[in-house]
Structure formats: C-alpha cells, structure tokens
Amino acid sequence: MKPQYQHELMTSFMLWFDHELLQKGEAYSNQTGSFYYSDDTRLPNEYKSYSSPYKQWVNDSSINGDTNPIIPSSLMGSGRNDGIIFDFENGRIIETGGNFGTNNTITGSFAVKDFNIYLTNETEEDLILENKFELNSRYAKTETGVNPYDQMAPAIFLNCEYMRNEGFAFGGEEKTTNIVKAIVLAENSYQLDGALSIFADSSRKIISKIPFSKHPSTEYGDIKNGLYNYTNLANTYLTANPYYIEDVTVSKFSEKKQGIIPGNLKIGFIDFEVSANRFPRS
C-alpha cells in the first residue's frame, strides 16, 4: 500500500515532536560507556550487535544547547565505511565487518534522549496499566547492554485515534482534523512538568509535511547518508501545505489513581488537535 495521509502525518509529527523536545528542553545527556555484545536473532548471521546501556540516541544534528549532543559517526576508529551501523533507535552498533571480536572491550560516546519516543497503536490503558517498562539504565549500579526492541521508559507514546473531514471550500477542499495523543511516562515530576510545558506552548505552530520516503532512518535505525538535520529537512518541505496545531491540552494523571500504576512512573497526557486543508477526493 502506498503511504496515505495518516502515515505522512504521523511520520512528520513524530520527527517534529522529537526535535521540539530535544531542542527546547535540551532533553538529552551525553554519555560515554561500554558496548556489550548481544545476540540478536533478527539480524543476519554475519551481523554482530553491541549494545550500550542506553536507548534511544540523539541522531538530529540540528539540535544545539549549552552542550551539543554527541552524534557518533565512528567508534574506536571504525565508522560506516568500515561496516559499522549505528542503531540510534536501539542504542547500539551493528558490525557487519570484522572490526571487533565479541570479547573486545568497546567504548564510545553518544547523546541519550531523556525520553524515548515511540509511535504506538496500543491504547492508553494498555500502555499505562499492562506494560511494565524497563528504565533506561543510566542510574543502574551494574551496567549492561539494553535489549534491542524493548520499549524503555522514560518514554512518550504517540497515537492517532481520531480523524475527521469537514467541508472547507467549494471545489472539494476539506479540513482534515486529527487528534494526536501523547502519553508521557516520566521518571519524576520535574521531567513530566518539563515535557508538558514544552508542548503546552506548541499551540498554533505549523509542522512541515515530510514525505514518507524522506524519513531519516534506515531499517537498522541508522541515519540515511550519515547525516540528519531536522531543521534543514523541515525547511525544505515547509511550503507544501503544512500541518497546523490548532489546539493542545496537557494533563497529569490523577495522584489518587497513581497507586494502580505499576512502578513509580509519573503519567501525563498531551492531546494535539492537528489540521490540514486538502482535497481528499481528488
């Protein structure tokens, strides 16, 4: 199936959301640490995976702050040209050459996001009450590599549950409105308030419509062509009928109900009303 309106909306929205949080909140920390060999049966046999203790890594080079994020392009002298894949999504490297042995000590530096961002189809109740998230092990006493593909908190889950079209102008132009819900699972109230505050201020902003094919990540979580700059990418597509954030409401999960949530995660909700004018029948 070809990518449809909702595919492009959620791709564009997620890239914008990630950038906004990292840039406005400087919601990342630079880390230096070891990589641990981990067997991953989903990878081809000749690929070896070495996981850091943290996921997800920052891959957007347009982020700058008091300390700019470290976006790795080489590790102990080996880079993409030597067959290293940087899996930013899962906080690891995948080696396709013969640079490292499974017993080697590998170390490197990278920037870890304060919040992992995920697109999800799971309902809020499933995310909040059923799933038990591992915490990014930045405070763990014994450092180990994180399991690939596990969803880890602190995290923000984005979900689009609602879409409606209504007539806008003669000639078939319609206003399409989507409700995009973000469920924030934070480690503490400070972190939760920070995320809610950033996005409460995003009302009436516009989001570039980035084509599905321009998503910066490869199937292995690395950056296409080795460089991703959200600002440049967004500016390239800014004129192509952008999305408009009509309204944002933020809310915290009731303290009274906190007792039924597994773990000590602080929960918040951000509800975005995003619209675009389009010709859905053409």
Please give the residue ranges that form the binding site for other proteins (CB under 8 A).
123-126, 129-130, 161-162, 179, 247, 249-254, 256-257, 260, 262, 269, 271
Residue 102 or 197: which CB sits closer to other proteins?
Answer: 197
Query: Least distance to other proteins from the beta carbon of 191, Å?
Result: 17
CB 199 within 8 A of CB 248: yes
Residue 2 or 132: which CB sits closer to other proteins?
Answer: 132
Query: Least distance to other proteins from the beta carbon of 124, Å?
Result: 4
Residue 39 or 255: which CB sits closer to other proteins?
Answer: 255
Query: Least distance to other proteins from the beta carbon of 8, Å?
Result: 21
Query: Least distance to other proteins from the beta carbon of 254, Å?
Result: 5
Residue 59 or 176: which CB sits closer to other proteins?
Answer: 176
Residue 24 or 252: which CB sits closer to other proteins?
Answer: 252
Residue 46 or 130: which CB sits closer to other proteins?
Answer: 130
Query: Least distance to other proteins from the beta carbon of 187, Å?
Result: 19
User: DSSP readout, the chain?
Assistant: ----HHHHHHHHHHHHHHHHHHHHH--EEEEEEEEEEE--TTS-TT-EEEE-S--PBP--TT--SSSPPP--SEETTEEGGGTEEEETTTTEEEE-SSS--TTS-EEEEEEEESSEEEE--S-HHIIIII--PEEPGGG-SS--PPPTT--EESEEEEEEEEEEEEEEETTTEEEEEEEEEEEEEESSHHHHHHHHHHHHTTTT-EE----GGG-SB-TTSPBGGG---HHHHHHHTTTS--EEEEEEEEEEPPGGGGGGSSTT-EEEEEEEEEEEEE-TT-
Query: Least distance to other proteins from the beta carbon of 172, Å?
Result: 21
Residue 97 or 263: which CB sits closer to other proteins?
Answer: 263
Q: String of b and e for 30-51 (b: at least 16 CB within 10 Å)?
A: ebebebbbbebeebeeeebbbb
Query: Least distance to other proteins from the beta carbon of 162, Å?
Result: 5
